[in-house]
Amino acid sequence: MTDVAFACDAMLGALARWLRLAGFDTAYDTGLDEAALGALARREGRWLLTCDRRLASAAGPRVVLLERVDLGAQVAELRRRLPLTVDPTRFFSRCSRCNGVLRAVDRRDVAGRVPPYVATHAAAFKVCTGCGRIYWPGTHAVRIARTLESLFGPETSP
């Protein structure tokens, strides 16, 4: 399953963020009630991820009821339950805030929208096609990449 899409309930915000960073299309909206979230998942063919037994029983067949609370344990449980194909080349391809697709842009396109030092020294830039947020490989990118590798890397495959 490479192009699998998810919808996370309100209790799974951290999981939604890390799934997005790993390149998975992941809907997450705390403003949606349970019925609307279930309808969104069905309408868009998404797997609904939840920790809520009542929501899981009412949402339909494409539901994963997660028993774990810890992020690492949730990802491991999800990978045991669904045959996910995790492609490291897709890491950092989605906006961690809105789920929009990130596209590469030239530094001239973002020069007035990032700090001057970043505009001069960052190696590359991406812009979210959804919310317009700008991303660049800052010092935190190495830490995030290590976390993604530990959560989704081949050595953690089920």
Whether 156 shows a pLDDT value over 60: the answer reads no
Contact 127, 106 (CB under 8 A): no
**For the chain, what percent of residues have pLDDT higher than 90?**
78
157 pLDDT more than 60: no
3-state SS of 91-142 is CCCECCCCCCEEEEECHHHHHHHCCHHHHHHCCCEEEECCCCCEECCCCHHH
pLDDT at 57: 78
Helix (H) or strand (E) holding 48: strand 47-50
Say what the pTM is. 0.92
pLDDT surpasses 90 at 98: yes
Q: Residues of the chain with pLDDT > 70: what percent?
A: 96
